[in-house]
Amino acid sequence: MYNKSFFQLLFLGISLSFFLGSCENSTPDTSTKSESKTSYPSDVIPFLDEWTITLGDGSIVKELSKYEHKDYFYTVNDGQDWIVYKTPNSGGTTPNSSNTRTELGQTKEWTPEVGGKLTGTLKVKHVSTSGDARVAASYSVVVGQIHSSEGHENEPIKIFYKKFPGHTKGSVFWNYEINTEGSNAKRWDYSSAVWGHDMSIVGDSPDSYPQEPEDGIALGEEFSYEINVQAGIMYLTFESEGHPVKKFTKSLIASEYTNHSDIPQQILTLYASIGRDGTERANAYAGELQFFKQGAYNQTNGKNPEDNIVWSTGSETYDGDLAKQYANGSYTEVWFKEGTLESGKNQE
């Protein structure tokens, strides 16, 4: 009797253990799924539903919710979530540019009189390591801009980061492109330094570099910008920990460059070899539709510097081979962690 009860209890215990084990194994492993959850750029900065994007291969994507591209537009986490914008020196370009970009374009347009506001917090991780040091655009990337969609389709502001090879610190500067009176062939950009040099500081030969800026920004160092256009006036604010806050004000509806005598010496020197000395229409960008852009607009290209010593950088492109460009430093990479897009605000 004892032996029979013993074996019955033993069998019951084994059966119960097997049943409970089967139930436990059938329970979903939620911890594993949570750790492998995909994060998209639209999870990092939700305002992406107000933009389209042009990728480094020239393609345009209009729906950015839960979208990524492993070569150009994706997320990383280094303790914080970032959107990566990556662009080779050579790829697909837009009709009016020789340069590649992985860059957002705002879908809503506005006039300077109505205004708008864009902010971004970012760090530049890489700029092209090849180029001609005499060329102002070499080793640089545009990380935010306003673009006109009418008239000459010029750019009231482009925010640049530029770092020469061998330097630890680079420069942040912004350019204002005149809305040229008459032909646009004489257009030029006036450059203002934020931290470091302005665009006009270049090398004396293709492979010699100017002095490194003492107050510059290193690769991987965070900074932020705010572009606020309100009632025709553009207000700019730049901030970075350990650096002085810089602010600028520029009218977009009343030009200061209507006569040849108004052209700054910077322009007469930098653009002399390509003969650009135009003047601006008196009301500048007044009444023209504008839109914001943000991301990585690579300013390096493979064009011959002797044809345009300001914008043709002579950078290495490996005949457009994407893998070779990424492997050999022929690209730019910018990370954004924050950004806002809203109506223009009264400036305090």
Per-residue model confidence (pLDDT) at position 23: 39
Chain mean pLDDT for the chain: 91
* pLDDT one-digit tens code per residue, 223-232: 999 999 999 9
How distant is the alpha carbon of residue 39 from its chain centre? 20
Tens of pLDDT, residue by residue over 159-188, are: 999 999 999 999 999 999 999 999 999 999
SS3 label, residue 56: coil
User: Residue 259 pLDDT > 50, yes or no?
Assistant: yes
Compute the average pLDDT of residues 251-279. 97
**Distance set, CA 299 to CA 4, 54, 196, 292 (Å):** 87, 15, 18, 18
User: What confidence category does residue 240 fall into, taking pLDDT thresholds of 50, 70 and 90?
Assistant: very high
pLDDT band at 97 (very low <50, low <70, confident <90, very high): confident
What pLDDT is stored for residue 38 in this prediction? 57
Q: pLDDT tens digits, residue range 3-27? A: 444 444 444 444 444 344 443 333 3
What is the reported pLDDT for 9? 41
Tokens 């032996």 identify what position? 3
The answer to whether residue 135 scores a pLDDT higher than 90 is yes
% of the chain at pLDDT higher than 90:
86
111 has a pLDDT exceeding 70:
yes
User: How high is the pLDDT of residue 8?
Assistant: 45
Q: For residue 331, name the pLDDT band (cuts at 50, 70, 90).
A: very high
Q: What is the model's pLDDT at position 328?
A: 98
pLDDT > 70 fraction of the chain, expressed in percent and rounded: 89
pLDDT confidence bin for 94, thresholds 50/70/90: confident
How many other C-beta atoms are found inside a 10 Å radius of the C-beta of residue 220? 11
Distances (CA, A) of 329 to 80, 219, 324, 348: 25, 14, 9, 42
H or E element, residue 6: helix 2-25
Residue 347 confidence (pLDDT):
83
CATH code for the part of the protein at 40-342: 2.60.120.200
What mean pLDDT is predicted for residues 133-139? 98
Whether the pLDDT of residue 220 is over 60: the answer is yes
> Is residue 103 pLDDT above 80, yes or no?
yes
Q: Structure pTM?
A: 0.89
Show the DSSP H helices in 197-275 as ranges. Answer: 265-270
Split at pLDDT 50, 70, 90, the class of 32 is very low
pLDDT at 342 over 60: yes
Neighbouring residues of 212: CB distance < 8 A, sequence distance ≥ 6 = 164, 167, 168, 169
pLDDT at 2 over 80: no
Residue 36, pLDDT above cutoff 60: no
